[in-house]
Structure 1
């Protein structure tokens, strides 16, 4: 087994935090682009219920684009996720209602 393969599989199970230190979720799987041999995204489960209330209640996960990853160590740090995860249409509805 080569080092690259070990690095990729070692991402599964790591906790993911925003660059502000907020727990986002835990890596359950990876979204890969086999032809380009790249990681496209991190499939997260055990989500922060405050950030993802609907997904947590439905026991669904989310996929975070790998380009958001800032660093990988004992934990994975990603760019601030709250604004980016919400659907722009949902934000407009919230603004209209409020």
Structure 2
């Protein structure tokens, strides 16, 4: 496969998402698009890592991660570790 050939955005659906530290985040279920700018603005994730999102997305079907967090797309999608830092101990301030 030629890397210069653009992939269909639908090829992202179903891929697993991991933090850059190797922590499973979830699986891409859908994409958020900006039709005017013709760009992907977010990844809608389902099959979430319950430990990672406990207390933040309890009972939710999924979450949307900003596409700007994506660092690499291949067989899996790698995102910044900011998603890991969202989980804080009670009483700690969430990172800015």
Structure 1 segments unaligned to the other structure (5+ residues):
none
Does residue 12 (structure 1) correspond to residue 9 (structure 2)? The answer is no
Shift of 1:82: 1.8
Does residue 82 (structure 1) correspond to residue 84 (structure 2)? The answer is yes
| TM-score under structure 1 length normalisation | 0.78
> Aligned with 1:44: secondary structure?
strand
> Aligned with 1:77: secondary structure?
strand
Structure 2 segments unaligned to the other structure (5+ residues):
none
RMSD, aligned α-carbons: 2.2
More helix by share: 1
Shift of 1:53: 1.8
Aligned residue in 2 for 1:95: 92
| Count of aligned positions | 87
Shift of 1:94: 1.9
Cα distance in 2, alignment partners of residues 18 and 95 from structure 1 = 22
Aligned residue in 2 for 1:48: 49
| TM-score under structure 2 length normalisation | 0.79
Aligned 1:49-68 pairs, distance under 5 A: 49-54=50-55, 55=57, 57-68=58-69
